[in-house]
Amino acid sequence: MTALPTWLATFPAGGLSRRRFLGAAAGGAGAATLIACGGSGDGGDTPQLTVDPAGVRTPGAVVFTRDEWQLADETAHAVPGGVYTGRELLDLTSSWDPWLANVGLVEDFNDISYEYLTRGNRGPGISPASTEYTKVMPHLAEGWEVSSDSLSYTFTLRQGVKFHPMAPVNARVMDIDDWRTSFERFLEIGSNRATLMALLDKVEYPDARHMVVKMKAPYGPFLSRMNDKDFAVKIVPKELNANDQMRATTQIGTNYRMVDSVQPSVSRNFKRWDDYWGGKPFIERWAYPIIPEASNAYGQFIAKNIISVAPASRDVLKVRQDVPDALIVGLPLSRMFARGLFGKREAMTMPWKDARVRIAIRKAVNYDAILDFQSNREAFSAAGIEVETVYGTHGNYDPLFYLDPTKGDLGKDGDNYLYDVAEAKRLVDAAGFVDGFDIDYVALQGSRVEIQQLMIDELKKSGFIRPADRWLNTQEYYDAVTYAADFKGLAITSAPGNTEPDYALYQNYHSSGRATSPYASAEMDDIVQRQRRELDPLKRIEVLKEFQRYAAKTFPHMATHHLFGAFRFDWPWLHNVNYDLQQGHKHWLDADMPRRNG
């Protein structure tokens, strides 16, 4: 079976200090119980589910989210009721307005109540290696038609969908005016509207059940991005769309969960929507206490007050000794590499305007050693547990088109990604900076501090690249880096949750992107535009490979650290785990879960 990442999110947590980077001791553990790969064996679309979850998700087992698609549906055995107890690290400190949200925390919060027109095809028997996995499924739109020239999409409104029973909406049925006002407000003020606006010609509403979206040019990933928070429109009731103040503090959607209470520094709580159009949810309530401290979360997990905890990879084998009956869950590799963005300020007068200098910055950092330190893969290997890893390059990671520089996929230019301080110094000298150079290193306060500091330390160790770190608060960082690249020097961004290649390619590499490279070129623009407009998936794959070959040669932005699969601990109380969150109404809690009712 091909091992592919799945849709579930990764939530890394803090751990050992970087001071233990070079001397971290490898911990040991007993033999692991692994999920055997099953399924159809031919990568086809016909599910052959032979794996009983009860025989896999057993106390102390090691399981991988990439394999969950093989588990049989458990709906027939569902036990309604119960309180799912999760964990949140941070408070909501800004507006709830779904159109103005520009921080992932608020966007994720809004996606709990609001829904999109489409969803991905995820669930039992749907292998990530199959064509079924790539299908776009109806959601708030019950279907659509595409014109022969791929310039017009006619969406049909799903009937009988009710909003949550809160004033002033009061559980009324969704109508076409909710769609119309949601699209209008998104296109007027939405923080993520730029990409759709650049593609859109107009939106029409010919009758009470249909919306016609007309494009300026074909856009290959349009339908797959209609449930993408960085692109698509959530459906918000017209009453909230007409009231900015209410929308900032009130959440009234159509989803299976609705807000019950939000207590700053205490918890965020949700209750089920019994009249959810997809069917009454099994779980009655969801509680997410605010637990920023890793040690506190660990204690709450041991006490079985929360359902999962995600220690740093270096601590997993030690934690296992304290909770031998908990599942170790191997989380999927991110589909997105973190990127180093070069700021636009003074970009054409700085040493890194020369591609050789940009390549030297990459080659001066020992990302292999950073990976070994952070992933603890040597110790995991000794314990019989696999750690998935992928070499960091530009763009997305997807086995369908990823080119590995360590395997010759990029030819001689693949060497530009490999650690070699002597070669980095030679490149800097050849560019005319024999005394080295200074560079501002911009980072987000409190975000991935360890990996940021490790990279800074590595650059300093080179002796000729002299980084000056500058840490910005969240709003400063989003304004200067994420949405504009309006800074001087280099900023390392976190890997976004967005898995569609066009998200990063257009935003960071096309000359019209909001945080594009100051070293974008007509050739790069052409590659980005061709992958956007290519409707044939196989042909688009070839264009995405072309992008990687061009980026390996020119380094318009910085490719940074490698990817590895992290681990979390779960108590085996949640069932139907192979349905994603858009179908979370099918999740249910084990009848023997401690304090099941809170």
CA–CA gap between residue 513 and residue 529 (Å, rounded): 12
Residue 115 is given by DSSP the state B
Token pair of 448 as six digits? 């991935």
CA–CA gap between residue 139 and residue 101 (Å, rounded): 23
CA–CA gap between residue 582 and residue 7 (Å, rounded): 11
Calculate the alpha carbon distances from 81 to 254, 280, 283, 577 in Å: 20, 11, 5, 16
Confidence (pLDDT) at 475: 87
φ, ψ for residue 110, nearest 5 deg: -65, -30
> Are domains 35-89+264-331+566-589 and 104-253 of this chain identical in fold?
no
Q: Which of the listed CATH numbers 3.30.360.10, 3.40.30.10, 3.10.105.10, 3.40.50.2000 matches domain 339-563? A: 3.10.105.10
Chain center to CA of 92: 19
Which residues on adjacent β-strands are paired with residue 437? 465
φ, ψ for residue 594, nearest 5 deg: -60, 140
Can you give the length of the chain in residues? 598
Q: What is the CATH number of domain 104-253?
A: 3.90.76.10
- Residues 530-555 as b or e (16 or more Cβ within 10 Å = b): bbbebeeeeebbebbbebbbbbbebb
CA–CA gap between residue 111 and residue 184 (Å, rounded): 19
Confidence (pLDDT) at 134: 84
Stated pTM of the model: 0.81
- Please answer whether residues 251 and 556 qualify as being in contact, where contact means their C-beta atoms are separated by less than 8 angstroms: no
CA–CA gap between residue 490 and residue 512 (Å, rounded): 20
Q: What is the DSSP string of 300-348?
A: HHHTTSSSEE---GGGHHHHHHH-TTSEEEEPPPPSB--EEEEPSTTTT
- Please answer whether residues 117 and 140 qualify as being in contact, where contact means their C-beta atoms are separated by less than 8 angstroms: yes
- Please answer whether residues 585 and 280 qualify as being in contact, where contact means their C-beta atoms are separated by less than 8 angstroms: yes
CA–CA gap between residue 263 and residue 258 (Å, rounded): 15
Which residues on adjacent β-strands are paired with residue 287? 85, 269
What CATH class has 35-89+264-331+566-589? Answer: alpha beta
CA–CA gap between residue 291 and residue 11 (Å, rounded): 13
CA–CA gap between residue 81 and residue 85 (Å, rounded): 13
Element containing residue 456 per DSSP (H, E): helix 449-462
Token pair of 352 as six digits? 């890194």
Would you list the domain boundaries of the chain?
35-89+264-331+566-589, 104-253, 339-563
Structure-derived torsion over alpha carbons of residues 234, 238, 243, 246, reported in degrees to the nearest 10: -60
pLDDT tens for the 598 residues of the chain, in order = 233 222 222 223 333 333 333 333 222 233 333 333 333 333 344 444 557 888 888 889 999 998 999 999 999 999 999 999 999 999 998 899 999 987 778 889 999 999 999 999 999 999 987 888 889 999 999 999 999 999 999 999 999 999 999 999 999 999 999 999 999 999 999 998 988 999 999 999 999 999 999 999 999 999 999 999 889 999 999 999 999 999 999 999 999 999 999 999 999 999 999 999 999 999 999 999 999 999 999 999 999 999 999 998 989 999 999 999 999 999 988 877 778 999 999 999 999 999 999 999 999 999 999 999 999 999 999 999 989 999 999 988 888 899 999 999 999 999 999 999 999 999 999 999 999 999 999 999 888 888 899 999 999 999 999 999 999 998 898 888 888 889 999 998 765 555 789 988 988 899 988 888 999 999 999 999 999 999 988 899 999 999 999 999 999 999 998 999 999 999 999 999 999 999 999 999 999 999 999 8
